[in-house]
């Protein structure tokens, strides 16, 4: 245990050293604090409401809060950008698997954001303590948190294996399709309310006895539910353990080569190879699959809806860009010092490097929205589809304008098969989402109201976003040439 303590001590030291070196203590801390406080106040209000509801025997809000906690728990793990001493790189150290498991589990809790997740999760015990079975409910709540944590640990490892990656993508595709059909059938708000996440429901059953229990009798429900939760916790623990073991044993399995070969043949020109390289890198970031999920939902909606709406179609295009925001805002995040060195050695200007990154981003987004545009052409007409394309061009211009600035000035390390780590650039990223989405929202409003100036304003929006984009390439291309060493340091 001393060895584990020593290693964790140094991981703690390394984390804060990196934190201070990256200059993250600087800007936006005030805004982040305000946002955190606002979210905390809202959360406390929800907890109080949930507690009152639970006292009255209504578990709906409690179940929803538990569902949210479960998904929030995935983020400290799935967005972790640093390798710990439990990784393959340190396999030569005389550490047992259990020691590595502890190191991996604990080291992911080092960032302050993870402390907030822990605090927020434990706060769920407040409404549980007001339930009919407070003690059993609290135990079930703690088991639920453990399940969420262990599931996060297991899932974060699985995308490293080709087979599991495929299975996860198929599952995501299935869930997106079903969710899309559900939204069409009963509406967005009702679909969200109807989400019944099983482990969360089990906690409610333990705490409230018969809530949502259906045919189960009052005295067996808490017991069966508690046992089920315990079994789930054991299974999640085993899955986390197994995924760590397999991850240490197996060679890193890389993406299928065929895709690159095909795309390499399609991309001529001086920057073709670099664009293909970044296309491959970007599609290994989990965030791009959020964009893909939005695009699938859009396709399902357009294909199945009885009378699809143009406004909803255009909104799905905005949502697709939203999902891919991290790629635009941190385009160097998946590179490392060696990659940055190669960019420096190649006879390429900063502008050319930014353009190659931007082209790869456009390939990702275009691949996601193209099926939607085709289906929209079929269901809503060529004009609506073409307007969707115009909207996408404006969105791309705006996102890349902000993204080029952020990529050069706020680079942050990201890992393959993880979510982007927004770090202290959170406020800038939120600003970017607003700035990037604005042209799309303005155009939807304009086209929906069918105002007389629609054509002129659409042209103006395109002109502005295009102009901003070209200015950003020039300005931040030059900044990139001056800041390569700083970016490399941030990524190392």
Does the protein bind other proteins through residue 280 (CB under 8 A)?
A: yes
Alpha carbon distances (Å) from 306 to 181, 313, 315, 370, 475: 12, 14, 18, 21, 48
Does the protein bind other proteins through residue 452 (CB under 8 A)?
A: no
Q: Which residue has the tokens 């079929």?
A: 378
What would the DSSP string read from start to end of 134-173? HHHHHHHHHHHHHHHHHHHHHHHHGGGSHHHHHHHHHHHH
First to last CA, the chain: 29
Cβ–Cβ < 8 Å for 360, 282: yes
Both structure tokens of 26: 């600087």
Show contacts with other proteins in window 247-276 (CB under 8 A): 251-252, 254-255, 257, 260, 264, 268-274, 276
Cβ–Cβ < 8 Å for 124, 67: no
Nearest to 255 by CA among 288, 280, 274, 278: 280
Rg (CA), the chain: 24
Both structure tokens of 22: 């990256």
The one among 188, 196, 218, 349 contacting other proteins by CB under 8 A = 349
Determine the interface stretch with other proteins among 173-181, 331-339, 383-391, 470-478 (rule: CB under 8 A).
Answer: 331-339
Distance of alpha carbon 334 from alpha carbon 322, whole angstroms: 19
How near is the Cβ of 283 to other proteins at its closest, in Å?
10
- 3-class secondary-structure state, position 25: coil
The one among 103, 290, 328, 348 contacting other proteins by CB under 8 A = 348
Distance of alpha carbon 81 from alpha carbon 334, whole angstroms: 10
Cβ–Cβ < 8 Å for 249, 241: no
Q: Which is nearer to other proteins, 278 or 428 (CB)?
A: 278
Q: Which is nearer to other proteins, 273 or 381 (CB)?
A: 273
How near is the Cβ of 423 to other proteins at its closest, in Å?
22
In sequence order, which ranges of 187-323 are alpha helices (DSSP H)?
Answer: 188-193, 198-208, 220-249, 257-266, 272-282, 287-304, 310-323
User: Going residue by residue from 97 to 136, which x/- string records binding to other proteins, judged by CB under 8 A?
Assistant: ----------------------------------------
Q: Which is nearer to other proteins, 81 or 114 (CB)?
A: 81
How near is the Cβ of 187 to other proteins at its closest, in Å?
42
Does the protein bind other proteins through residue 191 (CB under 8 A)?
A: no
Does the protein bind other proteins through residue 489 (CB under 8 A)?
A: no
The one among 341, 390, 441, 462 contacting other proteins by CB under 8 A = 341
How near is the Cβ of 334 to other proteins at its closest, in Å?
9
Does the protein bind other proteins through residue 83 (CB under 8 A)?
A: no
Distance of alpha carbon 20 from alpha carbon 360, whole angstroms: 32
Distance of alpha carbon 287 from alpha carbon 299, whole angstroms: 19
How near is the Cβ of 469 to other proteins at its closest, in Å?
23
The one among 277, 357, 379, 418 contacting other proteins by CB under 8 A = 277
How near is the Cβ of 259 to other proteins at its closest, in Å?
12
How near is the Cβ of 270 to other proteins at its closest, in Å?
5
Q: Which is nearer to other proteins, 90 or 241 (CB)?
A: 90
Cβ–Cβ < 8 Å for 295, 369: yes
Distance of alpha carbon 468 from alpha carbon 436, whole angstroms: 11
Q: What is the separation of C-alpha 433 from the centre of its chain, rounded to a whole number of angstroms? A: 14
Show contacts with other proteins in window 50-69 (CB under 8 A): none
User: Going residue by residue from 358 to 397, which x/- string records binding to other proteins, judged by CB under 8 A?
Assistant: ----------------------------------------
Give contact residues for other proteins (rule: CB under 8 A): 251-252, 254-255, 257, 260, 264, 268-274, 276-277, 280-281, 284, 335-339, 341-342, 344-349, 416, 485
């Amino acid at each position: 245990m001393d060895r584990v303590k020593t290693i964790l001590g140094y991981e703690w030291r390394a984390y804060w050293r990196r934190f201070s070196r990256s200059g993250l203590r600087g800007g936006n801390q005030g805004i982040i604090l305000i946002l955190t406080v606002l979210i905390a106040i809202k959360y406390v209000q929800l907890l109080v409401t949930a507690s009152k509801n639970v006292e009255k025997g209504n578990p709906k809000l409690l179940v929803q809060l538990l569902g949210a906690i479960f998904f929030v728990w995935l983020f400290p793990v799935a967005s972790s950008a640093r390798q710990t001493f439990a990784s393959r790189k340190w396999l030569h150290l005389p550490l047992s698997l259990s020691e590595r498991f502890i190191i991996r589990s604990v080291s992911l809790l080092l960032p302050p954001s993870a402390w907030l997740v822990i605090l927020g999760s434990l706060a769920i015990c407040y409404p549980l303590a007001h339930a009919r079975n407070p003690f059993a409910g609290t135990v079930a709540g703690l088991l639920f948190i453990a399940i969420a944590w262990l599931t996060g640990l297991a899932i974060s490892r699985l995308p490293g294996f080709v087979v599991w990656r495929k299975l996860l993508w198929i599952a995501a595709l299935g869930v997106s399709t079903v969710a899309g059909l559900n939204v069409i059938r009963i509406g967005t708000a009702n679909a969200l309310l109807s989400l019944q996440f099983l482990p969360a429901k089990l906690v409610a059953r333990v705490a409230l006895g018969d809530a949502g229990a259906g045919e189960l009798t009052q005295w067996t429900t808490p017991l069966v539910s508690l046992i089920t939760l315990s079994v789930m916790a054991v299974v999640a623990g085993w899955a986390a353990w197994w995924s760590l073991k397999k991850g240490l044993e197996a060679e890193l399995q890389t993406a299928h080569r065929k895709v690159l070969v095909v795309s390499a043949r399609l991309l001529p020109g001086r920057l073709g190879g670099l664009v293909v390289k970044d296309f491959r890198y970007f599609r290994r970031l989990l965030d791009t699959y959020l964009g893909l999920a939005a695009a699938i939902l859009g396709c399902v909606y357009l294909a199945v809806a009885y009378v699809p709406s143009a406004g909803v179609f255009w909104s799905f295009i905005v949502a697709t860009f939203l999902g891919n925001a991290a790629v635009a805002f941190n385009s160097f995040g998946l590179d490392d010092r060696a990659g940055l060195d190669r960019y420096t050695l190649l006879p390429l200007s900063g502008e050319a490097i930014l353009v190659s990154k931007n082209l790869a981003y456009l390939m990702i987004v275009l691949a996601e929205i193209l099926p939607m545009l085709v289906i929209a052409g079929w269901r809503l007409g060529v004009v609506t589809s073409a307007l969707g394309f115009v909207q996408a061009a404006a969105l791309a211009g705006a996102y890349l304008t902000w993204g080029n600035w952020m990529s050069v000035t706020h680079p942050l390390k990201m890992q393959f098969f993880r979510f982007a780590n927004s770090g202290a650039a959170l406020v800038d990223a939120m600003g970017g989402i607003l700035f990037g989405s604005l042209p799309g929202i303005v155009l939807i409003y304009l086209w929906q109201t069918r105002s007389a100036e629609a054509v002129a304003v659409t042209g103006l929006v395109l002109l502005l976003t295009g102009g901003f984009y070209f200015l950003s390439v020039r300005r931040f291309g030059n900044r990139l040439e001056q800041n390569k060493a700083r970016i490399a340091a941030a990524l190392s």
